[in-house]
Amino acid sequence: MTTTSPPGTSTAKTIAPYGLWESEVTKEAVFRGTSAISSPRACRRTGRAYFTESRPDGVNYIVELKSGASSSELKDVLPAGYNARSRVYEYGGGPYAILGGGGRLIFSNKADDSVSILDADSGSVIELVKTPKLRYGDFDAHPDEDGKQPWVLAVEEDHAVSEVPEKVGNHVVAINTQTGEVKRLVSGSDLYMSPRFSHDGSKICWVEWDFPDMPWSGVRLFWADWSGSAGSVSNIEHIAGDAAASATEPRWGPDGYLYYCHELTNWRQIYRRQPCQAEATLIKINGLEDVEFGKATMALANNSYDVLSERYLVAVYLKDGTSSVIKVDLNTFEYRDVTLPLADVDRDGIARLDDTSFLLVGTGHTTPTTLYRVNVDGNENNMTTVRVSTTQSFDSSLFSTPEHIEFQSKKQPSRMIHGFFWPPYSPSFTGPEGYKPPLIVQSHGGPTAHTPPGLRLDLQYWNTRGYATFAINYSGSTGHGKAYRDSLNANWGVLDVDDVAEAVAYLAESGRTDGSLTGIRGGSAGGYSVLQALCCYPDIFAGGVCLYGISEVKLLLAETHKMECRYVDNLMFTNDMDAKQRAKVMHDRSPVYHAGNITAPLLMLHGDEDKVVPISQAYTMYDDIKKRGGEVKLVKFEGEGHGFRKGENLITGQTEEEEWWKKTLVRK
């Protein structure tokens, strides 16, 4: 059946039930033809530049940008049989660094956690460090590494001392690139990140914190003098950061300043300090006092800003969950927008190329993740595409565009609720008159994270088939200030789930969706939200899809990895709770003990090698629902960890999910 064309168009649209539209966005295009681009790096001395690309075969490749930075001048430099990934803190990050003049790289190999040196020109690999149960990541090379200072800083994770997560050791180390010797420089705190050499090689910096804090709370910044001859540090000094105000993402500038992001107010801002100064200076950018600079994630090597020269800095900031890029004059602190068609920038997405240009990994509302070379000389911007993350070219007019949703909660505590709404859209199909579309709520992981408004082909897969999607950035999400993020403390499993329920009602009442046809999906902590929402609000949801989600909080604490083994302390407990009270909270907020409340059909997808949320959690939830007569299906993916990487598994998961939504959300 067809209908007349909307004003200004020439093609009539076919009327079809929401959820059953045909779409050019195929599963193969989404998962087999899409890679994850990240971690651009450039040698300050020669300009040789690289980035990583995680492809559907599960391998994280290192790719070199040749002069000119066009797609025809890209070269894979990592030989077959290697996979450049770090497993520190399970999430990894910072898997490689450029050495010397840029022709050699140091990298961590996922298969055996070894550290090797790669000659990018010849493709030869020399194993440098291989010690059972030791992992390395977050590499940073001394500026004279190929001269008299053959040292690389790294974060080391020691599983030999203990396999009990809380007792696994972490240290800041220096690796000798000539001998393979590893020297532990800093120990004693529970966790470390961001060891970095100053540009003259005389000092190093790093951040550290202790349980139960996380990378955005209680993080302290230090610097120390470096001795290359001894491979040691001295005169260690605490620079910034305490229990109330974290200091994160440190970076040395060519001017001798140490730059870092400090959360002294509700909004994390950029500061700088020279070793000769007694105090740091806020880079006070008028008009941007209420935005969030810097990234604080559980992965290593966050790079959301870089110092181009002694005069200029480029930075990404978040406002209402959306990324913007600016160029800052370090003499006047005046800024100008680097106007780019982007809505999100990768957490490890900026690298200086020279005094006027940088590499940037970003995503637009209707354009896929892309690596760009951006020139900001003078007042003009020139952006060149280096690599696009998808091999299939889509016309951007095929895609739904997001709407930022913000509304006042009707419940206590008084708060705003945020998210991004994508209506169903197709240039060829429309829904039946008088009907509203079904809704799929997307709940992000973390839970201290957020879903940005950049193009996600996996969500557009649903939008272009007639589903509306809403990515909720519930209380506790980043990108909305410290108070909003901290509001989830002691309230995880309650406030976030209440926000989801209110969002479903708001979207239906505002006429955007059919409130009787709502599904919810999410992975990890987002999977926990799925299970909690189905337990706490069984009358709201027609179906749920849980990807590697948490079902038993106490079991999570016993089985998860070091980084998150005390995460729940702040998320669920108050300081005055005793052991009995804490046990009750965990029981009350564990979906597995309330599985009898679930009436909506539930699909669970889980990897059998997940170290963050072991698959045992999925089995337990499945058994409990099954024995109560509920409708549940569990799909196990062999060889997959916390998040699926292999294209064939991603396609299988999407196929299972599509059948689930057709069964639960489509009005035929």
pLDDT on residue 32: 83
Rounded distance between C-alpha atoms, residue 42 and residue 192, angstroms: 24
At 184-227, the pLDDT tens digits run: 999 999 999 999 999 999 999 999 999 999 999 999 999 999 99
Q: What are 271's two structure tokens?
A: 């500061």
Within a domain: 171 = no
* Residues of the chain by 3-state class (helix, strand, coil), percent to 5: 15, 35, 50
Mean pLDDT for the chain overall: 95
Q: Do residues 405 and 373 both lie within one domain? A: no
Residue where one domain finishes, among candidates 347, 363, 390: 390
User: How distant is the alpha carbon of residue 229 from its chain centre?
Assistant: 38
Query: Percent of the chain having pLDDT more than 70?
Result: 98
Higher pLDDT, 644 or 545: 545
Domain boundary among 366, 390, 414: 390
Query: What pLDDT was estimated at residue 474?
Result: 97
Q: What is the pLDDT of residue 68?
A: 53
Query: Which pLDDT belongs to residue 512?
Result: 98
230 assigned to some structural domain:
no
DSSP state of 216: T
Place of tokens 């201290």: 448
Say yes or no: 534 and 652 in one domain: yes
Same domain, 656 and 536: yes
pLDDT tens digits, one per residue of 424-473: 999 999 999 999 999 999 999 999 999 999 999 999 999 999 999 999 99
Can you say whether residue 494 is alpha, beta or left, with left for phi > 0 and alpha for psi between -120 and 50 degrees? alpha
* Three-state secondary structure call for residue 429: strand
Whether residues 506 and 553 fall in one domain: yes
Does residue 382 form part of some domain? yes
In a domain, 453, yes or no: yes
What is the structure's pLDDT at 303?
98
- Are 412 and 501 in a shared domain? yes
Of 468, 472, 470, the closest CA to residue 416 belongs to 472
Predicted local distance difference test score (pLDDT) of residue 116: 98
Of 476, 469, 475, the C-alpha closest to 417 is 475
pLDDT at 401: 97
Measured between alpha carbons, how far is 246 from 248 in angstroms, rounded to an integer? Answer: 6
Does a structural domain hold residue 235?
Answer: no
**Single residue among 358, 390, 422 that ends a domain in this structure:** 390
Orientation angle between helical segments 495-509 and 525-536, nearest 10 degrees: 70
Identity of the amino acid at 39: S
pLDDT tier at 30, thresholds 50, 70, 90: confident
Strand locations in 143-231 (E):
151-158, 169-176, 182-186, 191-197, 203-209, 220-227
Annotate 456-522 with DSSP letters as a single string. -HHHHHHHTTT-EEEEEE-TT-SSS-HHHHHTTTTTTTTHHHHHHHHHHHHHHHTTSS-TTSEEEEE
- DSSP type of residue 595: G
Tell me, yes or no, whether 562 and 413 share the same domain.
yes
Segment 526-537 shows an average pLDDT of 97
Averaged pLDDT, 528-549: 97
Q: Is residue 136 part of a domain?
A: no
- By residue range, what is the domain housing residue 533? 398-665
- DSSP class of residue 298 equals S
Residue 181 domain-assigned (yes or no): no
- pLDDT score at 72: 58
Is the pLDDT at 5 greater than 60? The verdict is no
Which pLDDT does position 429 carry in this prediction? Answer: 97
User: Is residue 480 within 8 Å of residue 321, measured between CB atoms?
Assistant: yes
Distance of alpha carbon 146 from its chain centroid, rounded?
33
Domains held by the chain: number: 2
Residues 342 and 458 in one domain: no
User: Does residue 23 surpass a pLDDT of 90?
Assistant: yes
Least confident piece of the model among 40-54, 97-111, 556-570 = 556-570
pLDDT over 80 (residue 8): no
Residues 349 and 461 in one domain: no
**Residues 539 and 656 both lie in one domain:** yes
pLDDT per residue as tens digits for the range 325-383 = 999 999 999 999 997 889 999 999 999 999 999 999 999 999 999 999 999 998 888 89
At residue 1, does pLDDT exceed 60?
Answer: no
pLDDT grade, residue 391 (50/70/90)?
Answer: confident
Task: Answer yes or no: do 326 and 431 share one domain.
Answer: no
Angle at 115 between CA 179 and CA 195, to 5 degrees: 90
Domain for residue 76, yes or no? Answer: no
Is 332 found in the same domain as 427? no
Residue 477: give its domain's CATH number: 3.40.50.1820
Residue 289 has pLDDT above 90, yes or no: yes
344 and 405 in a single domain? The answer is no
Alpha-carbon span 569 to 588, nearest angstrom: 15
In degrees, rounded to 5, the angle at the alpha carbon of residue 667 between the alpha carbons of residues 662 and 668 is 85
